[in-house]
């Protein structure tokens, strides 16, 4: 069976009933759940989706994000999961990994692959898939739940000296809908690094709709690196939800490189005082890519702090989007929140829409936000050219420095060096 979501260009003018059929068509492609415990989660999401429609530019959170690539795509029902040839190909790809990990989780087309995964390490516990969900009731998160085939749930305890590495791999199943789900609980006093990779085996046209749920216990520390490097023809929509207890520390790094349409919804809920949140994002959009990051940090307790810096490099006819919210209600006194969006435009036809925003009710806070959009600075170009570089070499050096600065803090070092190589190749 093949489903075309809708080929019309102006979806906002379609009747609501017609736009509702888009979701129903996608839901008909949902594979059966691998575990019976997933059925209540799937059904609850289907009930919430019953009266919803895919977003259009008339929806505030989607007014800059063109979903035309999703609506024009024809999708097919998934083929049998974890085909031996595909598993072998993924195994060969992962065999080239270059740094040690305490655990390795592999999901292929949304299915947990036990053959390529390693989870039997001290401090790493594989939980039943019935672990409570914490993702927000948002249309694509609900779509992930409604089409969920498998779910990986982990509890991490103690001080894990090496990272937990997770691979979400899209295989050769052309034009299918993939709904991977990862849920991780970092126990109180726990300390670890999580590295997520979103990869494609080939130039696929899959629609990956992922959800990652992270729960940090009291005084837990988590460094989280999310690398989206799928095929240039893939569609990627991902949601990362973080819940922080008292005195916890979350440091998130999101690197977005692949996909013709990519959107990352990053939501942090701070429930305990004394918590710290650091968000560092980097999106590089070339050709006609659309790269969208929507973030929200909700302070639900006093005396916590957050710091966010998001960078976007946009060239050719690409479109970069950033929308960041910091919400500080009356209860969240003594909040310290900083937010900055910086964009570098490399082409006269490149486009960016950036909207950092503060929503503050508390009266004893220290909050700031800002945004800059520029081309490579003329004085910097002049300085470098005066040192013997030609104009193109000088511009390239400025762009590389702008991007590589955002990798500061990523560990282990060998991963940071690997990312540097990937970024330089993308910027070449």
Place of tokens 């080929």: 7
Give the global pTM. 0.93
Point out which residues pair with 193 in neighbouring strands: 223
Question: Pseudo-torsion of CA 373, 375, 378, 384, nearest 10°?
Answer: 120
Point out which residues pair with 195 in neighbouring strands: 165, 225
Question: Pseudo-torsion of CA 385, 390, 392, 393, nearest 10°?
Answer: -80
The count of other CB atoms within 10 Å of the CB of residue 24 is 11
Per-residue pLDDT of the chain (428 residues; tens, 9 = 90+): 344 444 444 555 555 555 557 888 899 989 999 999 999 999 999 999 988 899 999 999 999 999 999 988 888 876 778 889 889 999 998 887 778 999 999 999 999 999 999 998 999 999 999 999 999 989 999 999 999 999 999 999 999 999 999 999 988 666 889 999 999 999 999 999 999 999 998 766 889 999 999 999 999 999 999 999 999 999 999 999 999 999 999 999 999 999 999 999 999 999 999 999 999 999 999 999 999 999 999 999 999 999 999 999 999 999 999 999 999 999 999 999 999 999 999 999 999 999 999 999 999 999 999 999 999 888 888 888 888 888 888 988 999 999 999 999 998 899 999 999 999 888 87
Place of tokens 């609980």: 185
CB distance 224 to 253 below 8 Å: yes
For position 318, what pLDDT does the model report?
A: 97
CB distance 348 to 317 below 8 Å: no
For position 76, what pLDDT does the model report?
A: 81
């Amino acid at each position: 069976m093949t489903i075309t979501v809708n080929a019309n260009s102006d979806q906002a003018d379609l009747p609501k009933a017609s736009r509702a059929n888009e979701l129903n068509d996608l839901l008909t492609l949902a594979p059966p759940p691998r575990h019976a415990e997933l059925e209540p989660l799937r059904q609850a999401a289907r009930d919430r989706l019953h009266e919803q429609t895919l977003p259009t530019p008339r929806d505030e959170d989607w007014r800059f994000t063109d979903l035309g690539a999703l609506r024009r795509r024809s999708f097919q029902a998934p083929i049998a999961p974890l085909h031996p040839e595909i598993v072998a190909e993924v195994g060969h790809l992962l065999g080239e990994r270059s740094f040690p990990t305490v655990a390795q989780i592999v999901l292929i087309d949304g299915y947990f692959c036990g053959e390529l995964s390693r989870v039997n390490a001290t401090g790493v516990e594989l939980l039943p898939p019935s672990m409570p969900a914490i993702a927000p009731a948002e249309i694509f998160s609900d779509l992930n739940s409604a089409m969920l085939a498998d779910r990986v749930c982990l509890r991490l305890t103690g001080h894990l000296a090496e990272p937990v590495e997770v691979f979400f791999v899209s295989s050769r199943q052309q034009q299918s809908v993939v709904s991977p789900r990862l849920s991780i609980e970092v126990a109180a006093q726990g300390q670890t690094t999580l590295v997520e990779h979103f990869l494609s085996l080939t130039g696929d046209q899959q629609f990956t709709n992922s959800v990652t749920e992270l729960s940090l216990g009291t005084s837990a520390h988590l460094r989280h690196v999310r690398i989206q490097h799928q095929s240039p023809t893939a569609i990627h929509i991902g949601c990362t939800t973080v819940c922080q207890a008292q005195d916890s520390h979350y440091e998130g790094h999101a690197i977005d490189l692949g996909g013709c349409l990519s959107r990352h919804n990053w939501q942090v809920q701070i429930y305990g005082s004394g918590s710290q949140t650091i968000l560092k994002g980097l999106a590089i959009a070339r050709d006609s890519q659309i790269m969208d990051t929507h973030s929200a940090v909700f302070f639900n307790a006093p005396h916590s702090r957050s710091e966010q810096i998001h960078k976007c490099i946009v060239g050719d006819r690409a479109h970069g989007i950033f929308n960041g919210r910091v919400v500080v209600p009356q209860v969240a006194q003594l909040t310290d929140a900083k937010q900055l969006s910086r964009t570098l435009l490399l082409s006269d036809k490149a486009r960016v829409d950036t909207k950092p925003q503060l929503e503050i009710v508390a009266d004893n806070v220290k909050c700031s936000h800002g945004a800059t959009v520029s081309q490579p600075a003329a004085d910097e170009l002049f300085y470098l050219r005066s040192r013997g570089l030609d104009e193109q070499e000088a511009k390239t050096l400025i762009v590389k420095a702008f991007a590589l600065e955002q990798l500061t803090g990523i560990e282990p070092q060998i991963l940071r060096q690997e990312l540097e190589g990937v970024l330089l190749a993308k910027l070449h």
